[in-house]
Amino acid sequence: MIKLILKRALSLPFVILSITFITFIVGYLAPGDPILTMMGTRRDPALYASLRHLYGLDLPWYQQYMNYLTGLLHGNLGMSFRFQERSVLDLLGSGMSVSFTLGLTALALSLTVGVPVGILAALRQNSALDRGSMSVMLALYSIPSFVLIPIFQWINYQLYRFGLPSLPVAGWGTPQHWVLPVLVLSAASVGYIARLTRSTMLEVLRQDYIRTAYAKGLTNRQVHWTHAFRNAMLPIVTLVGPSIAFLVTGAFVVENLFAIPGIGFVSIQAISRRDYPVIQGTTLILALAVVFMNLVTDILYGVLDPRVRVEG
Amino acid sequence: MQKVSDSKLGRTITSLVPDRNNRSGAFTAFWRRFASNELAVFSLLGLILLITVAIFGPVLYPQSVIKPDYAAINAGPSPDHWLGTDNLGRDTLARLMFGLRVSLLVAVYVEVLNITLGVTLGLLAGYFGGLIDVLVTRLADILFAFPGLLLAILIAAAFGAPVSERFGGVGRLLLVAGSISLVSWSLMARYVRGQTLVLREQEFVLAARSLGASDLHIITQHILPNVAGLIIVSSTLDVASVVVNEAVLSLLGLGIQPPDPSIGKMINEAIPFLESSPLQVFLPSLALMLIVLTVSFLGDGLRDALDPSTLR
């Protein structure tokens, strides 16, 4: 077990180094001079030189990259180009907890809804329940969040207009503000998880050991829960990785359309100010979060499946 | 050993190899299977209609895409403006048809990039193995660490504004397509590589090689025809996500820039007026869903009609 964790963890530095390099080099290659933009209409060569030096932009690229890496190791994501006394971490700090709370709540909701729906549909294959729920799940999966959001907001406007209880359609703070963003954010991954859980469960139900279990005279309930479900859990764990990809893209849309002060919202604001270090920091944080979640999934897979543990 | 790449010999080889036998019969069988799927045929017709509208619609419809009509702001449908106008008094139908053109153009560019890059590298990696295989799979792994649209957002942040300033709307459109395909080509490369790994061990490849066919001949004449189905199906299905991704980027202000219309941008611009003129939000959403659904059903139909055993 420890061997497995170590082996998985050892491949991390290469991936992490590549991620930092890509986020760095895209910014380095970007045309335009951030210092000139920062100075606006003032043209003072001495100030220009000192600002360039302050941000380390007068160094060759490999030294800039080394400085960037050293900074990262100290938990320093760099300085904002636009707010000269503020660091990127400072700008993103509060947004990070908002975004991760939102994302993890949505992930938890997609798993608690998607997995049972998928299993139920598989157990009642080809029934009206199966077909009905899978059509709904396909719709949830294929309707983009920016189409879903206006529909929800419009319904709420109508509810409000007729004096019925309605939810806030933008902002962040009270629990009521959470409902719509979490629902929209989890929609695509609920559909994805439910549909794949169903096909995984159907696959397992076709296995020989299920027939053996029935032949032994076990009840439906015993076969479904102790034989089928436990084996279907394994592939379901691997679904978490791809669902996080939905959540990340979804978070940008949901945060911006609901005006939620997460890192997606903050970095889109930063892009319009041409404040590259902020979006650089966001990219790094999200990519690292995904890499970390994939590592956890890998290890969890090893915990659940003894075969993976042996092969390592 | 002398390698024979004589074109005459090449023809003899191909006539001996089973995968080239009765090509026209295979197409008839494919078409019969495809035609029996009503939903897929219907989607194909729908897609052809959408493409026709995107090409000829803006030419035939008299209203301007960018010129505002100050007498009609946020107006409903009328004989002058068939689908009403937006908050600046611009004609919705004209903008919608042009936005459709933008969506489909981006999709075409992305798929061309994916196919040239992904198929070439996938074929080379799968066929030759060794160093090139390691490089391609490593690169694909790294790009995959950036979930969803993250890398495209990063590219837009760094290069977006300068590209728009220097190369205008067309340049921006190409940048959007390039940044979307930056991650998705690696998916295509993965599929093609996996299929090539299986195909290169087949008897007909061995037969061709023993008759002295060159590597280039084997790849283009024996491997490529057998992965063509996979390429067609996966790029058709990918169009749906490309269209959504372009809309997300434009909606976040990182894609197509105003005043050029894009479906995502239209939704974003109309959301503040959702309460008074919901049609301006729902019409672009509907157009987008039409593209996504026709393309998805068409892709599913193609997958079922092509030999299912060669696909995943």
Q: What is the DSSP string of A107-146?
A: HHHHHHHHHHHHHHHHHTTTSHHHHHHHHHHHHHHHS-HH
Distance from CA of A290 to the nearest CA of B (A): 7
- Looking at every residue in chain B, the average pLDDT score rounds to 82
Residue type, A56: G
Q: What is the CA radius of gyration of chain B?
A: 23
Are residue A115 and residue A171 in the same domain, yes or no? yes
Residue type, B261: P
Per-residue pLDDT averaged across B237-252, rounded? Answer: 90
Q: Confirm whether A271 is domain-assigned.
A: yes
| pLDDT reading at B6 higher than 70 | no
Are residue A292 and residue A206 in the same domain, yes or no? yes
Quick one: pLDDT at residue A311?
A: 54
- The nearest alpha carbon in chain B to A291 belongs to B145
Are residue A157 and residue A291 in the same domain, yes or no? yes
Final residue belonging to a domain, choices A11, A41, A73 = A73
Q: A27: which chain B residues are within 8 Å (Cβ-Cβ)?
A: 158
Q: Does the reported pTM lie above 0.90?
A: no
Are residue A214 and residue A262 in the same domain, yes or no? yes
The DSSP secondary-structure symbol of B201 reads T
Distance from CA of B154 to the nearest CA of A (A): 7
Are residue A196 and residue A124 in the same domain, yes or no? yes
Lowest mean pLDDT among A222-226, A234-238, B40-44, B197-201: A234-238
Per-residue confidence band for A309, with pLDDT thresholds at 50, 70 and 90: low
A190 contacts: CB under 8 Å, gap ≥ 6? A109, A110, A113, A114, A117, A137, A140
Q: Confirm whether A84 is domain-assigned.
A: no
Q: Confirm whether A40 is domain-assigned.
A: yes
Q: Confirm whether A113 is domain-assigned.
A: yes
CATH number at residue A228: 1.10.3720.10
Highest mean pLDDT among A201-205, A298-302, A306-310: A201-205
A31 and B159 within 8 Å at the Cβ level: the answer is yes
Instruction: Provide the domain limits for residue A272.
Output: 96-304
Q: At what angle do helices A240-257 and B150-199 cross, to 10 degrees?
A: 150
Distance from CA of A120 to the nearest CA of B (A): 25
Backbone angles phi, psi at A127, to 5 degrees: -80, 175
Are residue A112 and residue A58 in the same domain, yes or no? no
Question: What ipTM does the predicted assembly reach?
Answer: 0.83
Q: Confirm whether A221 is domain-assigned.
A: yes
Are residue A19 and residue A165 in the same domain, yes or no? no
Are residue A110 and residue A179 in the same domain, yes or no? yes
Dump pLDDT digits (tens) for B148-190: 788 888 888 888 888 888 888 788 888 889 999 988 888 899 8
Burial B139-162 (b: 16+ CB within 10 A, else e): bbebbbbbbbbbbbbbbbbbbbbe
Q: Confirm whether A131 is domain-assigned.
A: yes
Final residue belonging to a domain, choices A39, A73, A107 = A73
Record the tokens describing residue A224, joined without a space: 């479904």
C-alpha–C-alpha distance, residues B146 and A289, integer Å: 10
User: Which tops the pLDDT comparison, B167 or A242?
Assistant: B167
CB-based contact B93:B78 (threshold 8 Å): no
Quick one: pLDDT at residue A16?
A: 86
Dump pLDDT digits (tens) for B275-295: 888 888 888 999 999 999 899
Per-residue confidence band for A241, with pLDDT thresholds at 50, 70 and 90: confident
**CB contact residues (below 8 A), chain A span 147-166, against chain B:** 147, 149-151, 153-154, 157
Per-residue confidence band for B18, with pLDDT thresholds at 50, 70 and 90: very low
C-alpha–C-alpha distance, residues B311 and B130, integer Å: 25
Are residue A174 and residue A58 in the same domain, yes or no? no
Total of domains in chain A: 2
Lowest mean pLDDT among A190-199, A253-262, B73-82, B274-283: B73-82
Are residue A64 and residue A122 in the same domain, yes or no? no
**CB contact residues (below 8 A), chain B span 146-205, against chain A:** 146-151, 153-162
Q: Confirm whether A157 is domain-assigned.
A: yes
Long-range contacts of B57-60 (CB under 8 A, 24+ apart): B57/B97, B57/B100, B58/B94, B58/B97, B58/B98, B58/B101
C-alpha–C-alpha distance, residues A198 and A125, integer Å: 9
Per-residue confidence band for B9, with pLDDT thresholds at 50, 70 and 90: very low
Per-residue pLDDT averaged across B124-143, rounded? Answer: 87
Are residue A49 and residue A169 in the same domain, yes or no? no
B67 contacts: CB under 8 Å, gap ≥ 6? B90
Lowest mean pLDDT among A77-86, B100-109, B220-229: A77-86
Are residue A134 and residue A43 in the same domain, yes or no? no
